[in-house]
Each structure stands twice: as structure tokens, then as C-alpha cells.
């Protein structure tokens, strides 16, 4: 399964990339909203793991843009600034999971495994 990690924090992106690679998946990393959209235009991804605080991007606009081009791509949202309002807004945009940073790596691994099995 191809996984795109859209995260501007290197440590978090590296941890997620290691997790997905160790699970046998191919992972790519985009550190900005425009880079994420560029990656999505070049390759098909079966899962997007997206930071809600990407620099130079408003996820409230980014997710709808993603949905127009790739309506079936599952999205997992990560946030370091949790609030009920943010969670509700993001969930209304169709993300499948909403996790608070620092994310529980075992929980994220379970989500990746679940998505992978649904894709098979």
C-alpha cells in the first residue's frame, strides 16, 4: 500500500514513515500542502496521514481540494492543538481517524493495518 505522510515536523514524519515501512508499505513524505497535492497528482496513494497544522496550508481548504481529486483516499488527521471544534470540523470533511500528537504509534499502526486490509 502506498502511504503519503503530509507532516512538517521531521521527527513525527520519520517515525510514521518508519512504522509504515516496517509494516511493508511504501511511504512518501510531503512537508507542505502544495507538496502534498503535487505528490497526489504524480502517484496513487491508498492512505494519507495529514497533519492538521501543515505550514503554508489550511487543512480546511486542503481536504476539500483532496476530496475533489481523490474522493476515495482515506485520510487520518493528526493534531498537536486539539479542540472539540477542530475535531468536529475535520471529521465533517470526511477523515476516517483523528489522532492527537504525540500519536500512539501502536494505535496508528492498527489504523494503517485496518486500511491496508480494506484495500486488499
The string of pLDDT tens digits covering residues 20-59 is 999 999 999 999 999 999 999 999 999 999 999 888 888 8
Structure-block grid coordinates of residue 112: 494503517
With b for 16 or more beta-carbon neighbours within 10 A and e for fewer, the 67-99 pattern comes to eeebeebbbbbbbeeeeeebbeebeebebbbbb
Lookup result for grid cell 486488499: 120
C-alpha–C-alpha distance, residues 62 and 67, integer Å: 9
Query: What residues contact residue 10 under an 8 Å CB cut-off, 6+ apart?
Result: 31
The residue with greater pLDDT, 103 or 51, is 51
Class of the CATH-defined domain 2-119:
alpha beta
Average pLDDT, the chain: 92
Q: What average pLDDT does range 56-66 have in this prediction?
A: 90
* Residue 95 pLDDT greater than 90, yes or no: yes
* 65 against 102, higher pLDDT: 65
- Long-range (24+ apart) CB contacts under 8 A made by 8-12 are 8/32, 8/51, 8/53, 8/54, 8/55, 9/51, 12/51, 12/78, 12/101, 12/102, 12/103
Domain parsing of the chain, residue ranges = 2-119
Amino acid at each position: 500500500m502506498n502511504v503519503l505522510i503530509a507532516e512538517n515536523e521531521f521527527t513525527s514524519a520519520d517515525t510514521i514513515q518508519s512504522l509504515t515501512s516496517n509494516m511493508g508499505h511504501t511511504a512518501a513524505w510531503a512537508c507542505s500542502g502544495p507538496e502534498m497535492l503535487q505528490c497526489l497528482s504524480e502517484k496513487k496513494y491508498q492512505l494519507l496521514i495529514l497533519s492538521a497544522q501543515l505550514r503554508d496550508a489550511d487543512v480546511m481548504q486542503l481536504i476539500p481540494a483532496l476530496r475533489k481529486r481523490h474522493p476515495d483516499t482515506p485520510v487520518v488527521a493528526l493534531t498537536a492543538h486539539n479542540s472539540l471544534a477542530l475535531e468536529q470540523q475535520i471529521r465533517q470533511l470526511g477523515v476516517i481517524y483523528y489522532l492527537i500528537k504525540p500519536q500512539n504509534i501502536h494505535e496508528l499502526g492498527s489504523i494503517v493495518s485496518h486500511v491496508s486490509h480494506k484495500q486488499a
